[in-house]
Structure 1
């Protein structure tokens, strides 16, 4: 069996920017010999975790897609949220998205479309901007200060460029204006054509698990009642958090 650490390191080399790699590129980045890399790739191909494409390059295999579906459907946050997402989209006519907190990033879990097509700006499984848009900011506003401090220290330049503060005190002051128990509207921060509102979904320990977001095309905003959207969003948040609390040990 190939080394577990090396296997994981090999698979993690693939990204949106580099979704195909040659054996030579993999070997170089892992600091492994070419013969070792080919042996590892052979085993991964047998498991369906990588596949070959023209040009003697490798991509992630079909088994990854199966695992992605299993992981998504088994995510407690999605299981607790899907009924409310469908209800929200139906009663408001607005597209609803769900994201989850993953270390210091947020990832799209899925969405339910409303009455009007809207370009969300991110897809399921895609990392969502943490410092732009209400989806990430709602989560930031609910994080404990120690985690915020770690995020600031690791992303100082990005936070400054996003206009959220050039120092730790300034950043904390900005974030604390976003009420963890309410909602946040933003306009055009991820997609210039959209206006969105989000709220953090909290776990049983009151730490955010992710966020629930409603997205509206800017040109359609006058067709909607903002107060109704806010009311329905917070109602769904309460129901989702209730399901999560009941399922917690």
Structure 2
């Protein structure tokens, strides 16, 4: 395993059951020598990604906290959604979740609670959740490309079937196609027993980013209220996507403007290639 991949693997081994890792454990997990493990630990420590915890081992370092702050302040999706999420939470009275695709899982990157929203929810910032339970995850699952669905099916068929999905790949893909065509997902009690979730997918120029959802109490809310919340949810998602589109178009326009300035190297190269393709007309015979 290349050294860079090995260091990434070390970072991925930290979880709630193992907040502190020892060199001995890493030697076993990675199958490498003590010297190799200590070299990797030294480099990660120098970068602030991990830190020594007395004699117990190594824990995640302060650079992780710094990067988390950078994400909260600079994530384009969060910036596009920020004020809209608060309004959706206030108007619906529910808990609004903004989630991203995270490999074969779903990661909540922001949560906003509406008025009197005391319902506990499992989706919290930074917690990876499976793709196959609850509206928040299932609407993302429905929008994944077929190749990703086949890979997921091969790797996690038993878990998918246990979660209530069909027992064959063809039926699984068909069920997801119907959900994708519906453009939203509603589920009840699949993740948290007393919760009802509504979710829609979020895209940026055709790329699946994640989902936007509202979580409400499973009882005590009328069907009309549910329809109104769903309509507001869909409208908010479209506005977030429109803001992302505006930012993308602005960035493209800025790039073109920079490239068109006199003396710009990149622009000059493009112009040179274009002019080189033009053939000089041959002089006619006298």
TM over 0.5: yes
Displacement, 1:89?
Answer: 0.8
Verify: 1:48 aligned to 2:51, yes or no: no
Displacement, 1:136?
Answer: 1.0
Q: Which moved more, 1:51-60 or 1:208-217?
A: 51-60
Task: Please give the secondary structure, in 1, of the residue aligned with 2:214.
Answer: strand
- Look up the match of 2:125: 124
Higher helix residue share: 2
Q: Which runs of 5+ in 1 are unaligned?
A: none
TM-score (norm 1): 0.90
- Look up the match of 2:18: 18
- Look up the match of 2:240: 240
Verify: 1:169 aligned to 2:173, yes or no: no
- Look up the match of 1:57: 57
Displacement over 4 Å in runs of 4+: none
Displacement, 1:7?
Answer: 2.1
Q: Deviations over 1:76-112 (max 9, x none)?
A: 2222212211110122221100101123321111111
- Cα gap change, 1:5 to 1:151, in 2 (>3 Å): closer
Distance 1:241 1:223 in 2: 27
- Look up the match of 2:204: 203
Q: Deviations over 1:95-149 (max 9, x none)?
A: 1001011233211111111112221212211112210000111112223323322
User: RMSD over aligned Cα, in angstroms?
Assistant: 2.2
Contact 2:102 2:128 in 1 (8 A): no
Displacement, 1:175?
Answer: 1.0
- Look up the match of 1:149: 150
Distance 2:105 2:7 in 1: 23
- Look up the match of 2:230: 230
Distance 1:6 1:143 in 2: 29
- Cα gap change, 1:223 to 1:118, in 2 (>3 Å): farther
- Look up the match of 1:186: 187
Task: Please give the secondary structure, in 2, of the residue aligned with 1:210.
Answer: strand
Contact 2:196 2:218 in 1 (8 A): yes
Q: Deviations over 1:19-78 (max 9, x none)?
A: 211111112222222233234323322332112335522111111121122234333222
Displacement, 1:219?
Answer: 4.1
Q: Which moved more, 1:232-241 or 1:116-125?
A: 116-125
Distance 2:229 2:59 in 1: 42
TM-score (norm 2): 0.79
- For the pair shown, the structure with the greater C-alpha radius of gyration is 2
- Look up the match of 1:104: 104
Q: Which moved more, 1:41-50 or 1:128-137?
A: 41-50
Distance 1:143 1:43 in 2: 36
Distance 1:224 1:66 in 2: 44
Task: Please give the secondary structure, in 2, of the residue aligned with 1:128.
Answer: strand
Structure with more contact order per residue of length (Cα contacts < 8 Å, sep ≥ 6) = 1
